[in-house]
Amino acid sequence: MKKRILILYISLQLTSCTFPSYVFQERKMQTGLDFTSGKWLLNTVDAPYNVNAKLTQIIIKDFTQHLDTRLNYVPKTKGLFLPQNTPFNPTKKEIKNLKIGTNFDYFINVKALKSKQNLGAIDITPHRFRNESETSVIVQIEIYDLNNEEIIYSETVEGSVAISNNNNNDIIFSKSADGLIFGAYKRIKKDINKKSI
């Protein structure tokens, strides 16, 4: 028994965990969303391939809880006339064109990207050879009121995890870039749920 405790203690001394941080950038919108009326259209989610399907599924599930059958998804909706890429922070003219091309009341645009990926989920580099490393992601959601031709919700969350040079552990566990994307999206989802009706 003492041998097992000693092995566990030594293992814990050689390993370390890093914790992610999530930061809202430029808190533009202080009001929430009114989900009680209108037809809503979710654009194709722009995210890295390995998380795209799961993230899209989660987003559809979350917005369906608010909208029920009033949520439609671009790839599954017929008769739309849309540009291939809908830009973030669109002009009034671009929003007007979305209204003409879709005939919906609201448009949801979601983007996720990995901005830095220098760190894996498990890092086994000996501490004397390790440089500072960081993995960071950005998740952005914008929602447009197509009738009034304006952006009604816009939030960006950056998720990151970093290892400094002064970490003396040889084995480090950290959240992967994919995990950071889901964590950043959860922060935006909580913000929407907290402010909206």
- In 10 A of CB 59, how many CB atoms? 22
pLDDT on residue 152: 92
The answer to whether residue 128 scores a pLDDT higher than 60 is no
pLDDT on residue 125: 57
pLDDT on residue 12: 47
Structural fold of domain 17-195: Rossmann fold (3.40.50)
Count of alpha carbons within 13 Å of 127, Cβ hemisphere only? 14
Alpha carbon of residue 23 to chain centroid = 12
Ranking 94-98, 152-156, 174-178 by mean pLDDT, the lowest is: 174-178
Could you tell me the two tokens for 24?
């809202």
The answer to whether residue 102 scores a pLDDT higher than 50 is yes
The answer to whether residue 130 scores a pLDDT higher than 90 is no
Domain limits of the chain?
Answer: 17-195
Confidence of residue 59 (pLDDT cuts 50, 70, 90): very high
Return the higher-pLDDT residue of 153 and 171.
153
Confidence of residue 23 (pLDDT cuts 50, 70, 90): very high
Could you tell me the two tokens for 159?
């998720």
The rounded distance, in Å, linking the Cα atoms of 92 and 94 is: 5
Confidence of residue 14 (pLDDT cuts 50, 70, 90): very low
Mean pLDDT of 127-134: 59
